[in-house]
Structure 1
Amino acid sequence: MEGDGFTMTWEVRSVNSRHLDVKWRLPVMVRSAEARFEKVVRRFATRGRVDVSLNLQVHKAELMAVTFNASQAGAMLDQLGAFAASRGEAFAPDYNRLLGMGFLWEDSGAELDEVFVSRLEEGLAGALQDWNLSREAEAVALEKDMLDRIARMEEWTALINERAPQIKEDRFALVRERLREVLARNEVDLEEQRFLQEITLLSDKLDVSEEITRLNTHLVRLRELMQSGGDAGKRLDFTLQECFREINTCGNKIQDPQISHVVVDFKNEMEKCREQVQNLE
């Protein structure tokens, strides 16, 4: 962005972080305005490690609230001149190189021009707007990916809910048959009452209806959070943890090869969702 007597280039980079952590790379002459720039950043971001750098070219001397350390620069040039003389070589200093030596330019302590700082804030706000547009474009892709994964988890939940009663009946029949075999070898009759008691206990151990109900509720919640806007990342992460708890219980209760495969795939999708959630604000 061009200003009156200066040109500025802002660059914003960010990576994942639980909290907002802003790191600055500013020219010496504007470091006193860092607190004001920090307020601008907080209008556009709530979390993340954000690196902000400013490249500034000033064409008006009155805007430069810095002083040149002439004594240090002179000493450096004298040393270089003496070194060249000792080698019998001519030395012609390149004063333009001194412009790039930041340690020779020091904050003069003078107040920065208010119009100048305001223009810098406008430039920073423009860069942050572009930054957020990029993040929003990425979020659209992440949202589609997340919703596709949630849809697969809903299908697997329905499959578990459909298979669970039949698995329970098959397990009952298997238990009855094994009991008959054991009792037959010992020439003892199967007591129907005792068998019903054992089946009741087994039924409680195999019942996943409550887990399925909670899991469906959590999946609905995930969809709601994806569409709610605002800072949903932490809430999505928490809800995914609850989903993991329920599907893990289902896997432990239902010892069935087909369901075991579904549970493994389910956990894999949740882990991918949790990785994606870290990129959402």
Structure 2
Amino acid sequence: MIQSMTGYGKHVVQLPSKKITIELKSLNSKNLDINARIPQAYREKELELRKLISESLIRGKVDFSLYIELTGDETTAEVNVAMVKKYMEQLRAIAKGDEVKLLEMALKMPDTLKTDKSDIDPKEYSTIKTALVEALKAINIFRTEEGNVLEEDFKNRLKTLSRLLGQVKEMDTERLDTIRERLEKAVADLKVELDANRFEQELIYYLEKYDITEEKVRLANHLEYFETTIDSADSNGKKLGFISQEIGREINTIGSKANFAPMQQLVVQMKDELEKIKEQMLNVL
């Protein structure tokens, strides 16, 4: 089973006087890269929240947003006038617009409300952590569903590669016979007398340089190993990447040894399929 690094998860909790919204978005990345957007009042809890995310999402570029909207009639919060004015100045510099609309946009920015309350409410923070866990469940479900699509695509392309490899095997005897005929004709055109035994030895040595038996066996093994790794319990994106490199190495070697146009055409098709696998591989966890 594989998982995609692309995902989205959201969870909303309505309290008597507040609405808490957790939002998670993720894209592909070599490592885990978390970009957190948290109200100033909860900055001291950022490391703890990051740890929760890192325990669930192993890799990917993750945007984590925590929104707290006051919905109660009574509140100790007041507008942070200086911050709102600063936002309006910046928005006005970007584009001219109606002052009321600029004010509406500015009020949606972070830290436009300030409160005298200095301590974090333990119950509220517990609710935030629960909401984060639910959002993480949602994004993992999303990643798994995306992974299922990738898995189906990989398996279809593996079947195509196996089919092309089968065609390579079928034409290999014809390829060697054709190369042998070309060499014999080239020598005959020279119109010189050669020792038949010595010529046969040299010909066998030359043909051995074009032998692709080992490459065919290794490529078949790599394709089988790739599919086995896909079906494993874990999502092994990096491992699959290494296997695809080995597949590419064998395909390239077959192409360099082919010296036979029909086989080289098959190699081009195999390279095309592998390239599409590698493109999708960037999204695998």
Assess if the C-alpha contact under 8 Å between 1:69 and 1:105 holds in 2: yes
Assess if the C-alpha contact under 8 Å between 1:63 and 1:116 holds in 2: no
Distance in 2 between residues matched to 1:234 and 1:35, nearest whole Å: 27
Distance in 1 between residues matched to 2:111 and 2:32, nearest whole Å: 30
Q: Give the 3 Å change call, closer, same or farther, for CA 277–134 of structure 1 in structure 2.
A: same
Aligned pair partner of 2:265 in 261, 266, 272 = 261
Which has the larger helix fraction? 1
Paired position in structure 2 for 1:86: none
Aligned pair partner of 1:22 in 23, 34, 38 = 34
Assess if the C-alpha contact under 8 Å between 1:69 and 1:106 holds in 2: yes
* Aligned residue type for 1:139: G
Distance in 2 between residues matched to 1:233 and 1:97, nearest whole Å: 41
Paired position in structure 1 for 2:140: 132
Q: Does 1:54 align with 2:66?
A: yes
* Aligned residue type for 1:113: D
Q: Give the 3 Å change call, closer, same or farther, for CA 46–122 of structure 1 in structure 2.
A: same
Runs of at least 5 residues in structure 1 that lack an aligned partner in the other structure: 77-94
Q: 1:108 deviation in Å?
A: 6.1
Assess if the C-alpha contact under 8 Å between 1:28 and 1:107 holds in 2: no
Paired position in structure 2 for 1:87: none
Distance in 1 between residues matched to 2:109 and 2:176, nearest whole Å: 78
The 5 A counterparts of 1:2-151 are: 2-59=14-71, 102-103=110-111, 105=113, 110-151=118-159
Superimposed CA distance per residue, residues 46-89 of structure 1 (whole angstroms, 9 cap, x where no aligned partner)? 0100001122123569997x78768x59xx8xxxxxxxxxxxxx
Q: 1:174 deviation in Å?
A: 2.1
Distance in 2 between residues matched to 1:247 and 1:140, nearest whole Å: 27
Q: 1:190 deviation in Å?
A: 3.2
The 5 A counterparts of 1:182-261 are: 182-183=190-191, 188-261=192-265
* Aligned residue type for 1:39: K
Identity %: 28
SS in 2 for 1:228: coil
Assess if the C-alpha contact under 8 Å between 1:3 and 1:119 holds in 2: no
Assess if the C-alpha contact under 8 Å between 1:237 and 1:277 holds in 2: yes
Distance in 2 between residues matched to 1:280 and 1:134, nearest whole Å: 13
Distance in 1 between residues matched to 2:228 and 2:68, nearest whole Å: 45
The 5 A counterparts of 1:148-163 are: 148-163=156-171
Q: 1:153 deviation in Å?
A: 0.4
Runs of at least 5 residues in structure 2 that lack an aligned partner in the other structure: 1-12, 86-102
* Aligned residue type for 1:267: K
Distance in 2 between residues matched to 1:192 and 1:5, nearest whole Å: 98
SS in 2 for 1:202: helix
SS in 1 for 2:231: helix
SS in 2 for 1:53: strand
Distance in 2 between residues matched to 1:198 and 1:97, nearest whole Å: 81
Q: Tell which has more relative contact order, 1 or 2 (C-alpha 8 A, sep 6+).
A: 2
Distance in 2 between residues matched to 1:14 and 1:134, nearest whole Å: 10
Q: Does 1:181 align with 2:189?
A: yes
* Aligned residue type for 2:172: A
TM-score in terms of structure 2 length:
0.81
**Between Structure 1 and Structure 2, how many residues are aligned?**
255
Q: 1:104 deviation in Å?
A: 5.5
Distance in 2 between residues matched to 1:113 and 1:103, nearest whole Å: 18
Q: Give the 3 Å change call, closer, same or farther, for CA 3–39 of structure 1 in structure 2.
A: farther
Q: 1:24 deviation in Å?
A: 0.9
Distance in 1 between residues matched to 2:105 and 2:142, nearest whole Å: 37
